[in-house]
Structure 1
Amino acid sequence: MKFFYNISKVEDYEYIVVRLEEDNLSGAGAILPIRKRGENYKIFMGIIEEYRSLIEHTTSDEAFLITEKLNKHFPGHPKVTFAIQAAMLSLFSKKHNIELQKLIGGLETPRNELCGERLFPEYEGDVLKLRCLAQDSSSNLTRTYVLTKYPKNEMDEVLSALSTNFKYLEVLSWRELL
């Protein structure tokens, strides 16, 4: 697998785009450093470099295991693992011709309203964990899934498919998070 990452800039704001390629297909993910949370793109670049060799020696068929492998190697970096897993799932869906909605989506048509705790998927670090979390009927906790619109619509397909597992939805522009 080929692994690329670079800094993208929009309106004097820098964020990271990761791209995975395999068999002339590609998947992308992105990481938005939120300054008011003390995040910086330089820190994320170092974490990505730590994961580089591990990712280059995987295949898209390991999309369902990649987060566990990354966390075992260097734990505690959910935004980076989420972006990489999103890129791998996107690549996996293209390679096997399976719609992302069928792969990670649910049956809900979420209502555009706030209700309960706000859930930012990037901070959970695992797409599949979020899918299961949404379907956990034993929890009485109501969550509003926050779908972030990235500057160039990176991860839109993954985040949109994942949102259909939740009853409530809030859509935010990347600018609103800064």
Structure 2
Amino acid sequence: MRPYLDLETQGKLITLEKVIQYGDALTTEILQHLSRSRSAPDNQIIHILLFRKIIEKLDGAFILMNSGSENNATSILRNALENLMYFMYIQKEDTEHRCLYYYVGTLVYELSYYRMLLPESIKYKHIKHLIKSTSPLAKKQWVEEKIRALEQELEGPELRAIYNE
């Protein structure tokens, strides 16, 4: 903890740290339980994963704030707030359908990410210097396999209808 912070701010950071630790432990335990039981509906898993994403964003912001980079933490906190709003939205009504939409959106985002990593992509020439040659991301075959797997998942009957909307 940074000693030059006032006691109130230090107390708030300590509280945030405890919330993050509890949220991380809770989501880990729930996901382990769900993976053992293999009976959880997909929408429950999506809720937990989205909640975990919020906790991870808070953790990143905490690390930045604790090291004196409050301005850099702002965008991460905004992203955490957006994820919280997604979380609240999918719980409001028609939860199963909204979870599927969120899941398809995530797959589409991943698909665009991997397509960007193909050497024939326009964006690739701008980012190739950032990718270590030892990374799987630098291997075209590995990237193409990821793309095929995502496309195959999007071809499932439920997801295809949402993807094509």
Q: TM-score, normalised by structure 2?
A: 0.28
Q: Which structure carries more helix by proportion?
A: 2
With a CA cutoff of 8 Å and minimum separation of 6, indicate the structure with the bigger relative contact order. Answer: 1
Question: Radius of gyration: which is bigger?
Answer: 2
Q: TM-score, normalised by structure 1?
A: 0.27
